[in-house]
Amino acid sequence: MIIFVVKIKGIMKTLLRHVTIIDTDSSYHGQTQDILIEDGNIKQISSEITCQDADEVLENCYISQGWTDSSVSFGEPGYEERETLAHGVKVACESGFTQVMLNPNTHPITESRSQVGFLKRATQGAITEIFPIGALTTESKGEYLAELYDMQSAGAVAFGDYKRYIPQANLLKIALQYTAPFSGIVISFPCDRSIMGKGVVNEHIASTRLGLKGIPALAEEIIVERDLSILEYAGGRLHIPTISTEKSVALIAAAKAKGLDVSCSVAVSNLHLTDEVLGNFNTDYKLLPPLRDTRHVEALRKGVESGVIDMVTSDHCPLDIECKAKEFDLAEFGSIGLEATLGIMLRHFSVEKTVEMLTAAKKRFSLPVSPIAVGQKADITLFTDKGERVFDKDSIKSSSKNCAFVSETVKGKVLGVISPRGHWFSR
C-alpha cells in the first residue's frame, strides 16, 4: 500500500525570504537570511537572493530543522476507525512534524521484522516519515523479549511496550544488556500498575473532591528509581517516556550527573494542564500519566528549561467516540495532541527552547539530521510565533476528536514543512 499525501506539484525551486534560522547545528543559527531550495536541496543561503523563476516564495517567519515527535499513535493496523496511517501522517505533516516515532499499540502489536517493514512500506509516499517503535516484549505482555535485533534491522528505532511498565525487573536488565551491543534503546514506561490499581486521575485534593480513584506520584517514581538502578548495574541505553512528577525530574537529573545513558520526555499536556480541569468529568482529560497538580507542572517546566527533560512529545493517541463517551472510570486513557503542540509550547517557552524540545529526539534515536546549511537536504519546519487563537474543534485535523486542548488559547502557527520527501505549505 502506498500512501499519497498531497504535495505542491511542479515545484523545482523554493525561495525563503527573510527567515530567521533556529538551528544550533547551523552556523546561521539566530540569523535572518534568504534560502534557495532546489529539488529538495539547500542551494544557497545569503542575506539577499534574487530568483525570478522561483515556483514558491515564503517570507518573514522562523525556520528550524523539521520537528520530530517521539511518541505518536495511529490506529492502523487494527484500529483504522481511530486513525489510518495515510491520514495520520498527513496530520503530523500539517502540525509541523517531518518525523514521528510510531508506538506499537496496534492490532497486531508491532513485534516482528515483517510488521516494522509493513509500516515503513505503507508510508513511503508520505511527506512525514515514520520510524516504528517495536514492542519490547511479545504481545506487550511483559513476559518474553520480542525480536529486537530483527526489528532494528528492519527500521525500528527503539523498543517499548506502550503505556505498560516492565513488571519483571530482571527482564529489563536482560533487555538493556541484550540491546547494548547494537546500541538499541529500551523504553520503559514508568507506572507501577500494582500501585496505580484502579486509579484514573492524580491522587490529590481534586481526586478526593470528585470521588475518583487516584494514581499516586509514587506509582511513577518507584519505577523510575528502580529502572535507573538497573541501568546503573546493567549498562545499556534507557529512555523514560512522559514523566509527570517533581521527584522523577530529580531522579533523572541525579542519574545524568552519574553519567548514565538515560533520556526522558514529557507530554505537552503535563506541561500545560493541571488536575483542576477535571471538575466537569470530561473524559478527554483522562490521560496516562494523569494530569498532576501545579507543583508537579512547575517542576516539569523547570526540567525542560534546565535540560534535564530531553524532549517534549504530543503523546498523540486518537481514540474513537466509543472509547471516550463513557463514565470517567470506564473511559480509556489518551488524547490527540499533534495539532496543538506548537501553540501550547509557545505559551510557556521561547522559540529557541520550543525548537530544541521538538527536535531533540533526532539525535537521541539516531534519526536523519539535516542542518540548515548549503549542500544539505532540506528538512525544515516553517512557523510563526505571532498571533493567538482559541483551539476549537475546527482546529482538530485528526480523525478522532478526543482532544484535551479544546478551548485552550494557543500561540503561533505552523506555516509549512519541506522534507526530502516533499513539501506542504499552509494556505
CB 334 within 8 A of CB 288: yes
Q: Tell me the β-bridge partners of 383.
A: 62, 414
Q: DSSP letters along 96-132, please? A: TEEEEEEPS-SSS-S-SHHHHHHHHHHTTTSSSEEEE
Q: Would you say the C-alpha torsion 423, 398, 285, 241 has a positive or negative sign?
A: negative
Catalytic residue among 69, 315, 320, 329: 315
| 315 included as an active-site residue | yes
How far is it, in rounded angstroms, from Cα 5 to Cα 424?
9
Question: Exposed/middle/buried for 393, CB within 10 Å: 0-12, 13-18, 19+?
Answer: exposed
Interatomic CA distance for residues 28 and 11, integer angstroms: 25
Torsion of the alpha carbons at 392, 398, 400 and 404, rounded to the nearest 10: -40
Closest-CA residue to 414 (of 393, 391, 406, 47):
391
Contact 292, 269 (CB under 8 A): no
Q: Which residues are tagged catalytic? A: 315
